[in-house]
Amino acid sequence: MVEAMPKCWVNILEKLTLDHATAVAASPGLRSVGWLVLKYLVKKLNPKLIAKIYSTSFPVLYETLPSYNPHPAASGVGGIFVNLGMMTEPSVEVHLHNNLLLVTGYQANFHGQREVAEETIRLLKNMGIDFLIALAAHAMNEEDFYIAATKSELVEKYCQVFKAKPYQGPILGFTGLILGEAVISGLDGICILSKTTPNPEFPEHPDYEAAKKLAKALLTLLKIELEPTDLKEVTQREYNSRVHLPSIFPVGLT
Amino acid sequence: MPVRFRFVRDVRLDRPCMLVGFPGIGYVAKVALDYLVEKLGAEVFAEVYSHAFPSFVVVRDDGVVEPLKVELYYSCCEGGSFILVTGNAQPITPEGQNELVDAIVAEIRGRYGISRIFAMAAYVVEGRTGEPRVYVAATDASTLNAFAKQGIMPMNGGCITGANGIILSYAKALGIPAACLLSETLAYTYYGYLADVKAAEALVKAITSITGLSIDMSDIEAKAKRFEEMLKRLKEAEESVLRETREKTWRRDLTYIW
């Protein structure tokens, strides 16, 4: 008898226990701002891939836009990615750089999104994370940065650090849900939302300038000496390799 | 679609009465339930999370992240012991709504037993004059009659959408006497523009009369009065826009008369 595949599972490539470590997480979201910063850090810091989270609810093609606001009736299309003949599965990736975990999120469909968020936070806590920094964007045309956090003391502190105001409103998709899980499980965390201009036709179309600003602020906070002037060049190919619209089928789609 | 519980306080209750007000049309049930929580001094003892909640978290005006959740409160007073159920969201699929309600009823019944369940909801009408009427739908004739004695009319036809309605089917299957009270609300609120405090006030009155609870009504009465005044101004503004539009159309139409 064949055992049924679990709905969401973790593949730990390297077992480790960190001490008071921080995780930075982002996912494809508004103008891809947070996701671009994460991809940039992964490219530039050369971190080690230590874990992957898989889900049967990860589409490779989304039926609704944006991917971070899924509809229960539109599950998307399942599949794998192929690059230079090599396949990869859609997944959440966790990389390690010193005492910092870089978590590249993935938007599940409606039916699997909360399970993925739960697994992600469980994994991070088991690895010894005690602080989460989520990256996102806002379109409020006022402050450069807004801050949301799991506790009011953290909102106050990081509003001062980033010369920001407290954010109010919803945070959608993977990034929002892991922050919710952080609250439920007692993990401290903040979300830095960087100013962008919405693009209603292509909500995830990259805003490299907003990402650059966010990357700079984050790198200063993390005390990492890196000037993100080349963010666009480094991340453009990554973004272009993603499939953004159900109507635009990639070459070689079967 | 799993449902998770997080108990934050250990409580001992003996067959409490459940009062239920999930957020729905015009936030009528939620406003009423929140008022009962406040006036009874009810305290939260558990949080419930569903995988079928919408795909976001709420960030409050002070910047603090609040996950979507259902909260279970308890109160012991002269009228007996009560569990009050509300939250900041409902699951958005029928499967999720059923699972959540099933889990809550099973958990509470398993721990404490349940004497009765009274849910609340909104009843959308085109126009409302005077006090909102309150209707009732019940699981059994005896419960329905108890409400009839209080002058509450039985709901005749239609449906009760969402968890506030679904909970009656689980109560019925388990033999728990249950009813859902519905207060008249206007179509305005159906589109999510307004929280109908006037309709909520009517629900609180009906619930207190049936349960024998005695609470201070002055705050919700004042809020309901302000809501009615605001609604009146809104209607006047709407009628003025309609009048202007009609006038413009009439003048334009005149050009076609020859």
Q: What is the ipTM of this complex?
A: 0.86
pTM above 0.95, yes or no: no
For A47, which DSSP code? P
Q: Is B66 touching A (CB cutoff 8 A)?
A: yes
Q: Are B60 and B24 in contact (CB under 8 A)?
A: no
- Chain-centre distance of CA B195, in angstroms? 11
Instruction: Note whether residue A140 is domain-resident.
Output: yes
What digits encode the pLDDT tens for the residues B157-167? 889 999 999 99
Domain-located, residue A253: no
B46: nearest CA partner in chain A: A184
Distance CA A119, CA A12 (A): 12
A191 touches chain B (CB under 8 A): yes
B59 contacts in chain A (CB < 8 Å)? 148, 166-171, 191
Per-residue pLDDT 10s for chain A (254 aa) are: 555 666 999 999 999 899 999 999 999 999 999 999 999 999 999 999 999 999 999 999 998 889 898 999 988 988 888 877 788 899 999 999 999 999 999 999 999 999 999 999 999 999 999 999 999 999 987 899 999 999 999 999 999 999 999 999 999 999 999 999 999 999 999 999 999 999 988 899 999 999 999 999 999 999 999 999 999 999 987 777 665 444 444 444 44
- The number of domains in chain A is 1
In a domain, A196, yes or no: yes
> The domain spanning residue A97 has which CATH number?
3.40.50.10900
Q: Is A173 on the interface with B (CB under 8 A)?
A: yes
Chain B residues within 8 A of A115 when measuring between CB atoms: 2, 51
In a domain, A5, yes or no: no
- CA–chain centroid gap for A218, Å, is 14
On whether residue A116 sits in a domain, the answer given is yes
Residue A40 lies in a domain: yes
Q: Does B187 touch chain A (CB under 8 A)?
A: no
Q: How far apart are CA A72 and CA A215, in angstroms?
A: 33
Total CB pairs under 8 A between chain A and B? 86
- A104 lies in some domain: yes
Residue A1 in any domain: the answer is: no
Of B6, B49, B55, the CB nearest to A110: B55
User: What domain range includes position A72?
Assistant: 13-240
